[in-house]
């Protein structure tokens, strides 16, 4: 589907995969439950929610207002790039696995979130490296898309390899299954938000059509045992992350950027949106508390 054709889709068109009838109103409920003031501060209607969010953000390494941990994250990214990021003979960039001191030229579907991760972190790196990291994010996301595009069902395997003459394909029977995982679509969403390159929406729509064709069953959606055959065998399981992550990221991919904007919200590993609480907001809260106490 071309970008022009995709842009003509109305919301009702997107619901051809019936589960899109689930409008994911929780996003709007979250935005209503937390008021965003003109200065960018978040004021919860219940102070206990502020405490929970603050603690959660600290635990996941978010330093409020000032990203003091960026140098640590940059060091980790440098180590990842130096030791794990590889380029295949065919020109595909991938994230290999390190096993007991030996590099395994295999990339798991789970690792495909790294395209989005590196993309959203690009702005926090050294200015002269920002475009480099955004390009790296795009290359990894492209490779993960290739793992989908090179299968018969246009869905990606659990893991794909770059050895034995194959690239971005599962060479072992034990890696050929798809259990409705979200990580590739997650990176599509982030890269769309960062670049607005229409290919990410096109790739996302390809996934929607593949899910509808191969994973749709009478009572919901099921994983499949082999993405390389059109004679689909379902595993009869709809994983919980399919609703909480896969469909949520698809919804956000085709939504406007002002729905849970990335500068105000952070998605944790299970795609739960958490508001970014800025240091200035906490200082304002402290000032207000002192005023009230007087």
Tens digits of residue pLDDT in 151-197? 999 999 999 999 877 899 999 999 999 999 999 999 999 999 999 99
Per-residue pLDDT for 97 more than 90?
yes
* pLDDT at position 139: 98
What's the pLDDT band for 69 if we cut at 50, 70, 90? low
Q: How far apart are the first and last CA of the chain?
A: 63
- Highest mean pLDDT range out of 39-53, 121-135, 207-221? 207-221
How many folded domains does the chain comprise? 1
Q: Is residue 44 part of a domain?
A: no
Q: Is residue 53 part of a domain?
A: no
Q: Is residue 42 part of a domain?
A: no
Q: Is residue 98 part of a domain?
A: yes
**236 C-beta neighbours (distance < 10 Å), count:** 10
SS3 of residue 172 by DSSP:
coil
C-alpha atoms less than 13 angstroms from C-alpha of 81 in its C-beta half-sphere: 15
Per-residue pLDDT for 221 more than 60?
yes
* pLDDT at position 237: 98
pLDDT: which is higher, 8 or 256: 256
Active site residues: 158
Q: Is residue 290 part of a domain?
A: no
What is the mean predicted confidence (pLDDT) over 40-45?
42
Q: Is residue 95 part of a domain?
A: yes
Nearest-angstrom CA–CA distance, 166 and 265: 39
Q: Is residue 47 part of a domain?
A: no
What's the pLDDT band for 123 if we cut at 50, 70, 90? confident
What is the mean predicted confidence (pLDDT) over 256-268?
95
CATH number of the domain encompassing residue 128: 1.50.10.10
Residue 232 sits in which domain range?
Answer: 3-36+66-275
* pLDDT at position 46: 39
**260 C-beta neighbours (distance < 10 Å), count:** 20
What is the percent of the chain with per-residue pLDDT over 70, rounded to a whole number?
A: 71
* pLDDT at position 28: 46
* pLDDT at position 125: 77
Global model pTM greater than 0.95: no
**Which of 88, 149, 74, 161 lies closest to 118 in space, CA to CA?**
74
Q: Is residue 265 part of a domain?
A: yes
In the chain, alpha helices (H):
3-7, 11-14, 26-33, 47-59, 70-83, 114-121, 130-149, 183-195, 199-210, 240-241, 247-253, 279-293
Per-residue pLDDT for 260 more than 60?
yes
Whole-number average pLDDT of the chain:
81
Nearest-angstrom CA–CA distance, 150 and 173: 16
């Amino acid at each position: 589907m071309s970008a022009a054709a995709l842009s003509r889709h109305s919301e009702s068109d997107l619901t051809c995969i019936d589960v899109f009838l689930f409008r994911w109103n929780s996003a709007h409920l979250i935005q209503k439950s937390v008021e965003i003031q003109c200065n960018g501060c978040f004021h919860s209607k219940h102070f206990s929610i502020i405490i929970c969010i603050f603690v959660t953000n600290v635990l996941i390494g978010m330093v409020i207002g000032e990203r003091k941990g960026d140098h640590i994250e940059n060091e980790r990214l440098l180590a990842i790039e130096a030791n794990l990021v590889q380029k295949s003979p065919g020109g595909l960039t991938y994230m290999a696995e390190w096993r007991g001191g030996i590099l395994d030229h295999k990339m798991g579907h789970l690792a495909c979130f790294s395209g989005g991760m590196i993309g959203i972190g690009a702005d926090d790196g050294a200015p002269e490296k920002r475009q480099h990291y955004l390009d790296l994010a795009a290359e990894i996301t492209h490779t993960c898309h290739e793992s989908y595009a090179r299968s018969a069902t246009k869905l990606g395997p659990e893991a794909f390899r770059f050895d034995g003459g194959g690239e971005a394909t599962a060479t072992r029977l034990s890696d050929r299954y798809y259990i409705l995982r979200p990580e590739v679509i997650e990176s599509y969403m982030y890269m769309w938000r960062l670049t607005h390159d229409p290919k990410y929406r096109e790739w996302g729509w390809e996934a929607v059509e593949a899910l509808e064709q191969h994973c749709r069953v009478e009572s919901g959606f099921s994983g499949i045992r082999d993405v390389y055959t059109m004679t689909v065998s379902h595993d009869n399981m709809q994983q919980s992350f399919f609703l909480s992550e896969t469909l949520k990221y698809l919804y956000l991919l085709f939504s406007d950027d002002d729905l849970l904007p990335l500068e105000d919200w952070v998605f944790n590993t299970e795609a739960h949106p958490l508001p970014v609480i800025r240091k200035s907001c906490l200082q304002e809260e402290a000032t207000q508390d002192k005023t009230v106490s007087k």
